[in-house]
Amino acid sequence: MRSLLALSIVSVSLVSGCGGVKDYQPIPKDEGLYMPSVRTVGAEPVYARTRWVRPPEVVPQRESYQAAQASLRGTPSLRPVFELSLKNTSLEETARVLAATARYSSYTAPSIANDKISITNLGTIDELARIIEGKARVQVVVDHENREVRFLAAQAEQPRFFEE
């Protein structure tokens, strides 16, 4: 019985182990195992391919734009408010400071450039120009179209006669 058992074990091991040696065949790439991909940055943003757009319409004529510009000429402009605080400063430096508040260039007449003025006030560039005009008795022109501030010598008033 013992020999029969040993014989069966040996026969089973021989039958199972006698399959022969197979040649090495690598696993194809599409069936292989890969490491999961690792990102160092976030995912790319996803954008919708549909957009909200206005329906097509006829372009307005050029005359309507010019008419709109003409109608805006009478309206007051919106300008930022600044605080101007200068003490014993020449008019040339005052012109530079006033022009710098609106990023304009400045010009001061040489005859009044060295006159001194002290001012502490709050207002738009136009309001500050009127205040300086009154205090220094000069003519201040704020040219918004050419982006320039000019300080000129005051012109004498022409004599007027009373009409009877």
DSSP structure class, residue 29: G
Q: In this predicted structure, what is the pLDDT of residue 106?
A: 95
pLDDT exceeds cutoff 70 at 88? yes
CATH of region 82-153: 3.55.50.30
Q: At what angle do helices 91-101 and 125-136 cross, to 10 degrees?
A: 170
Given a cut of 90, whether residue 32 has pLDDT beyond it is: no
Which of 29-43, 67-81, 119-133 has maximum average pLDDT? 119-133
Place of tokens 């001194």: 116
Q: What is the pLDDT of residue 155?
A: 79
User: Taking the domains of the chain in order of start, what are their residue ranges?
Assistant: 82-153
Task: Give the pLDDT of residue 125.
Answer: 94
Q: How confident is the model at residue 120 (pLDDT cuts 50, 70, 90)?
A: very high
Instruction: Using pLDDT thresholds of 50, 70 and 90, give the confidence band for residue 19.
Output: low
pLDDT interval class at 112 (50, 70, 90)? very high
Which region among 30-44, 79-93, 105-119 has the lowest average model confidence (pLDDT)? 30-44
- This prediction's pTM: 0.52
Residue 15 vs residue 81, higher pLDDT = 81
What are all long-range contacts of 138-146, with beta carbons under 8 Å and residues at least 24 apart?
Answer: 138/91, 138/112, 140/98, 142/104, 143/104, 144/77
- pLDDT > 80? residue 103: yes
